[in-house]
């Protein structure tokens, strides 16, 4: 009798855990289908998926304005964090229930466009009076163009700046970073700002590509990926930059930080005097009292020979190929991409709008920090390296480069291993 | 049971056939649930493990055993097997022992039993992701509460998360902390089924409480104990959420903590190689099955069914 109870319990346990798992995947799969249910009420609901909760408030304001001008269309925002966003989107794509409109990124565009998940916007753009591709930076337009078909319209762009703690500089009697700074200067000042007891470090050199070593690699004339789609990690200039970058960690001038969220915490807790962070952190940093009071931002230092670079990337607004309301979805994306929508986005400080000439409105949106430097860097900005399967080699590169940050592996070996792995992945690309 | 079958094999009467129909009807919900939610996905996973998966479930290419071949030469898979087993070996015995002690204590006549039972059970109800976020703050190297308290008693800061030698234990502590309550409740239920007469009789014979525990409590609670062990081991082998939330791919302790399910998740969803991910899951299934079979065999030696 007892034995049977045990097996019954086991069976019911399995059933319950199975149910739980099922419940989770269901919510993901159906999230895009809300539109059809809600539309029976008379209004057409367009879902808009995004991953940055910092931008949600501003975008909601824009959506309200759009709704007041286009009666009968309602915009439903779906905010999912960066890592889960792509898992959610892939599951939704597999189940044929993508959100009507959503953010696209250079890492993933190839996968979605080549599998016919996105609506071809070329005709719609040609017919539109409000969207002209010549109004956006060319590099950004190109990211979302495949076989002469445009799959997304640039929404915004971002660059990386050098954030610094004014109070720490004042205390040490040093002058703030500016455009005259070089690698040597950065290293010297970092040394002066490091106390050595682990309470204050001069610089934050985390294991992070876009807000970390990518910038130094391109400043040094190195590359991550060549035009021929080969890895640039074994390029001597790349290795040299990686050596310079990891030296901050090995010399004890930067804390060893590997966790993504811990990077900003290190700044907000006054652990590091300087650090590289992208323009999209603006609203997050401005709302932190400590940072708003003590921090400012400057252009990135140049390499010792004067070469400058910063990593530049931009998101796009895309429409699902299977949306039930293509006209309404396009109206929304058109509004987001129009001069009016883009200016509004800049004024609200949501992000640097991609539309040429709206940068000043963004600069004026924030008086706390000297954010004009993000715009100044655009002229020598380098598009974030990408290929058809960026996501595959980017995270594996972290796994292989890690040893050079912990000091277990020489930088050169780590870079060469990364190059080997990356070339194998690139070879498998169609 | 076996007797029943031989008896009915002759010629089932109308009544027995009717009873069978009812029996099938009554277990149908569970069986259908199991087939739809467990058996079919298992078979699909097995099927997928022979393919190189295309994006969005389209364009799968049959590759035979190449995912398995790749898996057996992948050092990271073996790291993950080692980590998963190590985690199980740390977590299960500690959890069961603590749960057993708590169950015996909370089954005795002490004041506020209900309150204690609730307190110990609370970690089980809380969402694992939320729990891990809180623990992550406690473990934080620079600003964490644990390191702060250690510094007060003069112990140097421990890097709970990024030190490869420590990280698996940090994860195990969370695992133990969050499952002790559940095992304890099951064991309390088992303890309450033990008839009081045995204790009374042994009291008259002058047995000490310790003797009673080992000679009455343990043997009589052994079926429940067995159930707790089997389920805890299966649960521990499938450890994922805590490690996923706490240890990023970029962390130096990643190689020393990555579990099989975490590796499966990364392969399937991050690198969108679902075929390879499925192969990893099949390996995990095989390991769990072997361990469970061994336990089923071993139970004859120590489990007493009244």
B306 touches chain A (CB under 8 A): yes
Residues A10, B58: C-beta atoms closer than 8 Å: no
End-to-end CA distance of chain A: 60
Residues B34, A15: C-beta atoms closer than 8 Å: yes
- Tell which residue, A223, A275, A425, A19, has the closest CA to residue B37: A19
User: Who among B140, B250, B271 is closest to A258 (CB)?
Assistant: B250
Tokens 């739980």: give the residue.
Answer: A20
Domain identity same for A329 and A265: no
* φ and ψ of B264, to 5 deg: -60, -45
User: Who among A117, A259, A405 is closest to B248 (CB)?
Assistant: A259
The CATH number that applies at residue A195 is 3.40.190.10
Domain of residue A349 covers 35-157+314-355
**Strand, coil or helix: A338:** coil
B156 touches chain A (CB under 8 A): no
Residues B248, A3: C-beta atoms closer than 8 Å: no
Pairing type for strands A44-50 and A73-79 reads parallel
Indicate the pTM of the whole model: 0.79
Q: What is the DSSP letter of A211?
A: I
Window 229-258 of B, Cβ < 8 Å to A: 230-231, 248-252, 254
By CA distance, what is A98's nearest residue in B? B56
Query: Are A380 and A310 a contacting pair, CB within 8 Å?
Result: yes
Domain identity same for A305 and A402: yes
Q: Which two tokens stand for residue B107?
A: 């089954």
**Orientation of helix B40-48 relative to helix B274-302, angle to 10°:** 130
By CA distance, what is B38's nearest residue in A? A18
Q: What is the DSSP letter of A208?
A: -
| C-alpha dist (Å) from residue A209 to A282, A354, B211 | 19, 23, 63
* φ and ψ of A288, to 5 deg: -90, 120
Q: How far is B271 from chain A (nearest CA, A)?
A: 5
Q: How far is B142 from chain A (nearest CA, A)?
A: 9
Q: What pLDDT score does A25 carry?
A: 38
B304 touches chain A (CB under 8 A): no
Domain identity same for A214 and A307: yes
Domain identity same for A45 and A123: yes
Domain identity same for A248 and A340: no
Pairing type for strands A156-157 and B61-62 reads unpaired
Q: How far is A368 from chain B (nearest CA, A)?
A: 27
Do the domain assignments include residue B18?
Answer: no
ipTM, two decimals, is 0.72
Give dist(CA A375, CA A381) in Å, integer.
10
**Boundary-marking domain end, from A325, A355, A385:** A355
The CATH number that applies at residue B149 is 1.10.3720.10
Residues B250, A398: C-beta atoms closer than 8 Å: yes
Give dist(CA B164, CA A237) in Å, integer.
31
Domain identity same for A282 and A399: yes
By CA distance, what is A87's nearest residue in B? B269
Residues written for chain A:
430
User: Who among A18, A259, A262 is closest to B37 (CB)?
Assistant: A18
Q: What is the DSSP letter of A210?
A: I
Q: Please name every residue paired with A47 in a beta bridge, in sequence order, or none if there are none.
A: A76
Do the domain assignments include residue A382?
Answer: yes
Contacts of A12 in chain B (CB under 8 A): 30
Do the domain assignments include residue A335?
Answer: yes
Q: What pLDDT score does B303 carry?
A: 87
Query: Are A361 and A346 a contacting pair, CB within 8 Å?
Result: yes
Q: What pLDDT score does B304 carry?
A: 84
**Boundary-marking domain end, from A302, A325, A355:** A355
Domain identity same for A148 and A86: yes
Buried b (16+ CB within 10 A) or exposed e, A2-35: beeebeeeebeebbebbeeeeeeeeebbebbeeb
**Strand, coil or helix: B41:** helix
Total domains in the fold of chain B: 1
**Strand, coil or helix: B54:** coil
Domain identity same for A259 and A147: no
- What are the pLDDT tens digits along chain B (306 aa)? 444 555 556 677 888 899 999 999 999 999 999 999 999 999 999 999 999 887 887 778 899 899 999 999 988 999 999 999 999 999 999 999 999 999 999 988 888 888 988 898 988 888 888 899 999 999 988 778 999 999 899 888 888 988 889 999 999 999 999 999 999 999 999 999 999 899 999 999 988 888 998 999 999 999 999 999 999 999 999 999 999 989 888 888 898 999 999 999 988 888 888 899 999 999 999 999 999 999 999 988 888 886
Domain identity same for A376 and A238: yes
Q: Where are the beta strands (DSSP E) in chain B?
A: 51-52, 61-62
Do the domain assignments include residue A362?
Answer: no
Q: What pLDDT score does B279 carry?
A: 95
Tokens 């058109």: give the residue.
Answer: A334
Q: Please name every residue paired with A312 in a beta bridge, in sequence order, or none if there are none.
A: A383
Q: What pLDDT score does A430 carry?
A: 56
Give dist(CA B163, CA B157) in Å, integer.
11
Q: Which of A88, A95, A401, A402 to mutate to test the interface with B (most CBs of B within 10 A)?
A: A402
Do the domain assignments include residue A341?
Answer: yes
Give dist(CA A304, CA A240) in Å, integer.
12
User: Who among B55, B250, B251 is closest to A111 (CB)?
Assistant: B55
**Strand, coil or helix: A216:** helix
Domain identity same for A151 and A253: no
For CA atoms B273, B276, B281, B284, the dihedral sign is negative
Do the domain assignments include residue A367?
Answer: no
Give dist(CA A424, CA A49) in Å, integer.
33
Do the domain assignments include residue B79?
Answer: yes
Domain identity same for A401 and A278: yes
Q: How far is A14 from chain B (nearest CA, A)?
A: 8
Buried b (16+ CB within 10 A) or exposed e, A73-108: bbbbebebeeeebbbbbbbbbbbebbbbbbbbbbbb
CB-CB neighbours of A203 under 10 Å: 24
Q: What is the DSSP letter of B252?
A: T
Give dist(CA B49, CA B63) in Å, integer.
9
Q: Which residues contact B4 (CB under 8 A, 6 or more apart)?
A: none
Residues A14, B34: C-beta atoms closer than 8 Å: yes
Q: What is the DSSP letter of A177?
A: P
What region does A45 belong to: left with phi over 0, alpha with psi -120 to 50, or beta?
A: beta
Q: What pLDDT score does A31 carry?
A: 40
Residues B231, A10: C-beta atoms closer than 8 Å: yes
Q: Which residues of chain A have pLDDT under 50?
A: 1, 13-40
By CA distance, what is B221's nearest residue in A? A2
CB-CB neighbours of B281 under 10 Å: 24
Tokens 């027995």: give the residue.
Answer: B16
Do the domain assignments include residue A19?
Answer: no
CB-CB neighbours of A182 under 10 Å: 16
Q: What pLDDT score does A34 carry?
A: 43
| C-alpha dist (Å) from residue A345 to A34, A58, A314, A359, B204 | 27, 7, 14, 10, 84
Classify residue A50 by burial, with Cβ atoms within 10 Å: 0-12, 13-18, 19+.
buried
Give dist(CA A184, CA A13) in Å, integer.
62
Domain of residue B92 covers 71-302
Give dist(CA A285, CA A346) in Å, integer.
17
Give dist(CA B165, CA B185) in Å, integer.
33
Q: Which two tokens stand for residue A157?
A: 């762009």
Residues B56, A392: C-beta atoms closer than 8 Å: no
Give dist(CA A100, CA A201) in Å, integer.
46
**Strand, coil or helix: A323:** coil
Give dist(CA A148, CA A337) in Å, integer.
19
Residues A115, B55: C-beta atoms closer than 8 Å: yes
Window 44-103 of B, Cβ < 8 Å to A: 55-58
By CA distance, what is B247's nearest residue in A? A259
Contacts of B257 in chain A (CB under 8 A): none
Do the domain assignments include residue A365?
Answer: no
Total domains in the fold of chain A: 2
Q: What is the pLDDT of residues B136-188, one digit of tens each?
A: 999 988 778 999 999 899 888 888 988 889 999 999 999 999 999 999 999 99
Q: What pLDDT score does B9 carry?
A: 61
Domain identity same for A175 and A258: yes
């Amino acid at each position: 009798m007892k034995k049977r109870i045990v097996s019954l319990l086991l069976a019911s346990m399995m059933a319950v855990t199975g149910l739980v798992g099922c419940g989770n995947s269901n919510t993901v799969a159906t999230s895009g289908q809300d539109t059809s249910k809600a539309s029976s009420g008379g209004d057409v609901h367009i879902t808009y998926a995004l991953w940055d909760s910092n931008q949600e408030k501003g975008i909601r304001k824009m959506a309200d304005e759009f709704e007041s001008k286009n009666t009968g269309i309602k915009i439903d925002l779906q905010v999912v964090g960066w890592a889960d966003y792509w898992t959610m989107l892939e599951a939704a794509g597999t189940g044929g229930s993508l959100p009507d409109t959503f953010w696209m990124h250079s890492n993933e565009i190839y996968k979605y466009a080549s599998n016919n998940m996105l609506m071809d916007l070329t005709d719609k753009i040609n017919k539109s009076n409000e969207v002209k591709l010549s109004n956006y930076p060319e590099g950004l337009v190109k990211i979302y163009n495949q076989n002469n078909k445009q799959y997304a319209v640039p929404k915004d762009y971002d660059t990386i700046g050098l954030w610094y703690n004014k109070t720490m500089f004042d205390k040490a009697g040093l002058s703030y970073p500016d455009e005259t700074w070089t690698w040597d200067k950065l290293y010297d000042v970092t040394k002066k700002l490091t106390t050595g007891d682990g309470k204050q470090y001069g610089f934050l050199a985390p294991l992070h590509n876009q807000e970390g070593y990518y910038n130094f690699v391109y400043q040094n004339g190195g590359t991550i990926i060549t035009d021929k789609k080969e890895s640039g990690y074994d390029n001597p200039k790349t290795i040299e930059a990686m050596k310079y970058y990891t030296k901050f960690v090995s010399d004890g001038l930067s804390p060893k930080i590997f966790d993504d969220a811990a990077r900003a915490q290190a700044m907000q807790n006054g652990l590091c005097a300087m650090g590289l962070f992208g323009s999209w952190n603006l609203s997050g940093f401005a709302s932190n009292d400590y940072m708003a009071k003590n921090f400012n931002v400057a252009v990135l230092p140049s390499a010792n020979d004067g070469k400058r670079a910063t990593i530049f990337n931009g998101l796009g607004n895309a429409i699902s190929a299977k949306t039930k309301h293509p006209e309404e979805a396009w109206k929304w994306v058109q509004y987001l991409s129009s001069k009016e929508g883009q200016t509004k986005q800049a004024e609200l400080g949501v992000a640097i709008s991609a539309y040429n000439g709206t940068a000043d409105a963004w600069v004026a949106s924030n008086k706390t920090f000297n954010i004009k430097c993000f715009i100044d860097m655009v002229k020598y900005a380098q598009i974030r390296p990408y290929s058809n399967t960026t996501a595959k080699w980017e995270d594996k590169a972290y796994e292989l480069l890690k040893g050079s940050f912990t000091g277990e592996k020489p930088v050169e070996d780590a870079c060469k291993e990364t190059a080997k792995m990356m070339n194998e992945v690139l070879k498998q690309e169609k | 049971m076996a007797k029943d079958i031989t008896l009915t094999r002759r010629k089932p009467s109308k009544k027995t056939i009717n009873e069978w129909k009812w029996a099938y009807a009554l277990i149908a919900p569970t069986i259908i649930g199991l087939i739809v939610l467990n058996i079919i996905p298992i078979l699909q996973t097995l099927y997928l493990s022979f393919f190189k998966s295309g994006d969005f479930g389209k364009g799968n290419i049959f590759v035979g055993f190449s995912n398995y071949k790749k898996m057996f030469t992948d050092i990271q898979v073996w790291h993950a097997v080692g980590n998963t087993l190590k985690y199980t070996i740390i977590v299960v015995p500690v959890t069961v022992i603590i749960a057993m002690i708590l169950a015996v204590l909370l089954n005795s006549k002490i004041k506020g039993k209900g309150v204690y039972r609730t307190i110990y059970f609370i970690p089980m109800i809380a969402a694992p992701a939320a729990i891990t976020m809180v623990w992550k703050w406690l473990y934080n190297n620079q600003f964490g509460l644990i390191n702060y308290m250690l510094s007060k008693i003069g112990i140097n800061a421990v890097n709970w998360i990024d030190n490869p030698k420590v990280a698996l234990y940090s994860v195990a502590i969370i695992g133990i902390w969050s499952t002790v309550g559940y095992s304890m409740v099951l064991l309390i239920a088992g303890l309450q089924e033990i008839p009081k007469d045995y204790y009374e009789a042994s009291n008259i014979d002058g047995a000490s409480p310790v003797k009673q525990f080992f000679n009455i409590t343990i043997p009589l609670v052994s079926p429940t104990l067995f159930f707790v062990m089997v389920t805890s081991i299966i649960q521990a082998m499938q450890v994922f959420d805590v490690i996923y939330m706490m240890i990023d791919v970029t962390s130096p302790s990643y190689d020393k903590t990555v579990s099989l399910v975490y590796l499966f998740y990364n392969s399937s969803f991050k690198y969108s190689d679902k075929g390879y991910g499925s192969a990893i899951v099949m390996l995990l299934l095989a390991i769990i099955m072997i361990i469970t079979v061994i336990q089923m065999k071993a139970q004859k030696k120590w489990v007493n069914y009244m």
